[in-house]
Amino acid sequence: MDSKYLNQSVDVLIVGGGPAGLMAATELIRYKCTIRILDTMPSVGRKFLMAGKSGLNITSSNSDVIERYGEFRDWIAPIIEKFGPNDIMQFCQSLGQEIIFGSSGKVFPKCMKSSPLLRVWLTNLVRQGVEIHTSSRWLDFDKKTNSATKNNRITNIVRSNNVSYPIISKATILALGGASWSRLGSDGKWYNILRNYLQTSKNSLVPFAPANAGFKIRWSRHMMKFEGIPVKSVTVKINGIAKKGEFVVTRTGIEGGVIYLFSTMEKGETDKLEVDLMPDVSLLTIAKKLDRNSRKSTLTNFLRKSLGLTGVKFALLREFAYPYPETTLEFARIIKNLELRLDGNYSIDFAISTKGGVATEAVNNGLMLYDLPNVFCAGEMLNWSAPTGGYLLTGCFATGSHVGKSVAKYLNLKLIA
């Protein structure tokens, strides 16, 4: 969209073209209003596209979805009740994407990617009159007015092509994302800008922290060929807390669902973790099976034949348990409690998602900021969090949809006949 139109007034300015911002626009196109989406990046939805690289887990079919939001469950429950997993699946189907169900309740578009869905989604929005301006950065509200909102209008300051423009809107929806993967646009820089408007004495802003992040491990060269390989059906234990699931070996460490469950631990709390490579088999059964083997064959064959331990699980044993113990009981103990030495947490920028941002107490039921009338928030920039498994996008879509409806009500917009 040509930047010469950028400074014209608009009914609803949506800042951030991620899943939350786009879903807000999708609600609002049903009403008579002008809608403009701004994104600082040269194209919208970059993190959403990245999410599709390893299979876009778009929502969850589990019956206890709300429980996954932990301490935020009561806050998010009424929002997800109005736009939840079934609505998300229907929305995908309306964009021509067949839905498939994976393990652990995971739901994916059949093509597993984000790009076909995003392409049709954007085409629909533009066809219905939504203006999308990329490479346009929201900088601030106009401080000259002393408060962002005056006469029920907001003056937003936006920079595009090195020129700063004021944009007056009746409502501004901020959907600026969290503070990870800054190269995809969500750099969290809005935090210090909003600090000028929100009363931090009321804890309106919560510092960012990684919510789903991996751990670093300095692998030996033997492990390099296992990069990207999942270690399935294991139990991971840190400081006495055990979680069952799977993780993936990366070039520089380990990532994945079961690992992310520990990512909010303080630095130093986690210099090692233990892996039970065979959580469904008891220590004594493993020891007995090992005893039955003559040890005449190579160790690889011995573990493969007696226990079915092959591939990446065997490589982990070699990496962390060599030289192997003499007795079968001792070996069985190691298989049940393999100690992985960690070299620290990945930095926040490598986290799948972050917690922190605008406190849920800082917004009303319609997600409007108490301290900034006519300014609303949606998506990961709000302080809620959830594990991976489709719950993150579910929360972003749900808050995006909710904010769209709430702005329509607040501005008393009329439905298009």
Residues that bind ligand FAD (CB under 6 A): 15-21, 38-41, 44, 46-48, 50-51, 56-57, 137-138, 175-177, 181, 185-186, 190, 352-353, 379-380, 390, 392-393, 396
Nearer to ligand FAD, 252 or 337 (CB): 252
Strand partners, 149: 154
Handedness of CA 322, 325, 331, 337 (dihedral sign): negative
Identify whether the C-beta of residue 381 lies closer than 8 Å to the C-beta of residue 357. Answer: yes
Strand partners, 236: 243, 275
Nearer to ligand FAD, 328 or 401 (CB): 401
Nearer to ligand FAD, 83 or 190 (CB): 190
What is the closest distance, in whole angstroms, from the C-beta atom of residue 9 to ligand FAD in the complex?
A: 18
Nearer to ligand FAD, 20 or 171 (CB): 20
Q: Where are the alpha helices (DSSP H) in 308-372?
A: 311-321, 328-336
Amino acid present at 316: L
Nearer to ligand FAD, 16 or 85 (CB): 16
What is the closest distance, in whole angstroms, from the C-beta atom of residue 124 to ligand FAD in the complex?
A: 17
Separation CA 169–CA 374 (nearest Å): 9
DSSP H or E run through 158: strand 153-160
Nearest to 377 by CA among 409, 402, 354: 402
What is the closest distance, in whole angstroms, from the C-beta atom of residue 233 to ligand FAD in the complex?
A: 21
Handedness of CA 298, 301, 306, 311 (dihedral sign): positive
Nearer to ligand FAD, 108 or 331 (CB): 108
Nearer to ligand FAD, 56 or 286 (CB): 56
Separation CA 177–CA 354 (nearest Å): 9
Identify whether the C-beta of residue 132 lies closer than 8 Å to the C-beta of residue 125. Answer: yes
Separation CA 260–CA 32 (nearest Å): 43
What is the closest distance, in whole angstroms, from the C-beta atom of residue 44 to ligand FAD in the complex?
A: 6
What is the closest distance, in whole angstroms, from the C-beta atom of residue 283 to ligand FAD in the complex?
A: 36
Nearer to ligand FAD, 26 or 40 (CB): 40
What is the closest distance, in whole angstroms, from the C-beta atom of residue 20 to ligand FAD in the complex?
A: 3
Return the residue matching tokens 């699946």. Answer: 89
Separation CA 347–CA 336 (nearest Å): 30
Handedness of CA 342, 345, 350, 353 (dihedral sign): positive
Nearest to 295 by CA among 321, 336, 328, 320: 328
What is the closest distance, in whole angstroms, from the C-beta atom of residue 295 to ligand FAD in the complex?
A: 44
How far is the CA of 405 from the CAs of 105, 134, 367, 397, in angstroms? 28, 24, 10, 12
What is the closest distance, in whole angstroms, from the C-beta atom of residue 38 to ligand FAD in the complex?
A: 5
What is the closest distance, in whole angstroms, from the C-beta atom of residue 407 to ligand FAD in the complex?
A: 16
Nearer to ligand FAD, 40 or 374 (CB): 40
Q: How many CA atoms lie within 13 A of 203 on its CB side?
A: 6
Nearer to ligand FAD, 92 or 287 (CB): 92
What is the closest distance, in whole angstroms, from the C-beta atom of residue 56 to ligand FAD in the complex?
A: 5
Separation CA 42–CA 198 (nearest Å): 29
